[in-house]
Structure 1
Amino acid sequence: MKVHIWHTGRVYIDQALAFREKGLHPIPYSGWLRGENKKMWVPVSTYLIEHPKGLILVDTGWNEEIRINQKKHLGRLAYSMFRGELPVGESIVDKLNEFGVKSSEIDFVFLTHLHSDHVSGLSHVQDAKKIFTSELELKSANKKVGYIKSMWDGIPIDTFILEDIPYGPFNKGLDFFGDGTLFLVHTPGHSEGMFSLLVKMNEGWLLLASDVGYAKKSWEQMILPGVTSNKIHAKKSLEWIQNFSQRKDCIQVIANHDSEITPFTIGES
């Protein structure tokens, strides 16, 4: 088992989007009427898991269209709140080419949730053998504002139904292969159907925490993301991440947008 941590561009956001603030501004996470001193660049991560039962891509990063016309790609509202950057060599297309894998050779694409920085590049890998997200997330994303539905429109996405598992804030998710090596863990709050991944490595558990928290300090200091679909659920999910990170058999917890994480591979001999 190997897990490759890649950065597929970065995103320019208000710091309150990553780390919730209290103040007079009603929606500081929007960045509206906030100075440049409140803004920050954070990476947009994807993960390639070499599992004995298949090659798995987790999230897709930015689409290459963002290099030439991101206002059109994101839409006016999103573009007014954040900006993306995708240097040459960092798109999911670039990363897969460098790795020597075609998108059609990917067995599974997991979309932890359907916010734009996680699904923007989906069209680049739409010929993967299977694309999955949670049923709850897809239903929610198709109904609510805050999602850019054109990013998955016309692309076949399979969904999974939550089952009882021994992990997570609600003990819900999916033992994907049925052998205890890969759990999709229901960790809602930032979005209704978001999930994290528990990967069984030789040394212990690797937890890919998606956007439950934006960085390690999120669960160490219990700082929620600025945007939540359910604050109570978000807090419970972050508490579970905090508790799991303290387990002796947890080798690492990785947040998707942590600036302290640089690309590397876990599981190399």
Structure 2
Amino acid sequence: MDTKIHIWHTGSVYIDKSLAFNEKSWHPVPYTGWFRGKSKKIWVPVSTYLIEHPKGKVLIDTGWHEDIRVNQKKHLGRFTYSMFRGKLPKGQSIKEKIDALGIETKDLDYVVLTHLHSDHVSGLKHVSNAKNILTSELEWQAAQKDLGYIKTMWKDVPINTFHLNTIPFGPYKKGYDLFGDETIYLVFTPGHSKGQMSILVSTTKGWILLASDVGYAARSWKEYILPGLMVDKQAAQKSLKWVQEFSRRKDCYRVIANHDPSIREEILHNINKGGLKV
């Protein structure tokens, strides 16, 4: 069985440019978008990924919940709504994407949450009956006490956590070998949040790195531009530097940021020892 990676856009988010690409400004918190005009704002995709692996189906993040179409101020809360806006066209929710594929959410072996910010976990209740929902222990702990999280998005959802183990990859060589066979690694890449993980998938062509929000686009690591929202700048620098260095490796096939407008929806799959085909 081939490993397939479905790249999906589960809506988009309207953010200040400085959230994606950190900038020097007189404004104390420009990433909030407060008192900044439309010229400073951009729409970027909210990506999710379904990995169909020989050992199971793995969903990475969940995008926006369909409630975003109805009353997003209530869904996001007034504070978050003052900074961001969401958009979820018909057919783009994670539930609709999975239904269109002809599988059921209960057949998902893992839902991996790279971190618990709203645009990554909003749609979680659409897949709450998955077999195993995972996030890092550090991220879970941060989400219980720190600002920037909306706990109602995972209320009554059974989320499991994992300890960081020693792995061959990442800025800290810490993470989790999902299947225990070195084919999918959850790589500890903190900075944007305390427990953020990136995902490494082994393919016949090389590694595919799903870099979450370590950077918001390919230019982030090519030009070394940090995201505007960081809980630990030093860790964010170290994580982005690792992504930059990993992207130059001969065995790295592709690096994909979650919110990169240049990334289109597609399916990557192995066809033979010659590599990947779209």
| TM-score (norm. length: structure 2) | 0.96
Distance 1:158 1:202 in 2: 31
Identity %: 61
The number of residues matched between the two structures is 269
Which residue of structure 2 aligns with residue 114 of structure 1?
A: 116
Deviation by residue 1:128-166 (Cα, 9 ceiling, x = unmatched)? 000000000000011101100110111110100001111
- 1:132 counterpart = 2:130: no
Distance 1:104 1:177 in 2: 19
Q: Return the letter of the residue paired with 2:95.
A: V
Which residue of structure 2 aligns with residue 218 of structure 1?
A: 220
Distance 1:112 1:196 in 2: 6
Which residue of structure 1 aligns with residue 102 of structure 2?
A: 100
Equivalent position SS for 1:235: helix
The answer (yes or no) to whether the contact 2:192–2:213 under 8 Å persists in 1 is yes
- 1:23 counterpart = 2:25: yes
Structure-to-structure mapping, 1:19-98, within 5 angstroms: 19-98=21-100
Equivalent position SS for 1:266: strand
Structure 1: which 4+ aligned runs deviate by more than 2 Å?
none
Q: Return the letter of the residue paired with 1:156.
A: P
What RMSD in Å do the two structures reach over aligned CA positions?
Answer: 0.6
Distance 2:88 2:49 in 1: 16
Which residue of structure 2 aligns with residue 148 of structure 1?
A: 150
Aligned partner of 1:201 among 179, 200, 203: 203
Cα drift, residue 177 of structure 1: 1.2
Structure 1: any 5+ residue segments left out of the alignment? none
Cα drift, residue 268 of structure 1: 5.1
Distance 1:54 1:178 in 2: 13
Cα drift, residue 176 of structure 1: 1.4
| TM-score (norm. length: structure 1) | 0.99
Aligned partner of 1:183 among 185, 189, 208: 185
Which residue of structure 1 aligns with residue 168 of structure 2?
A: 166
Cα drift, residue 227 of structure 1: 0.4
Equivalent position SS for 1:20: coil
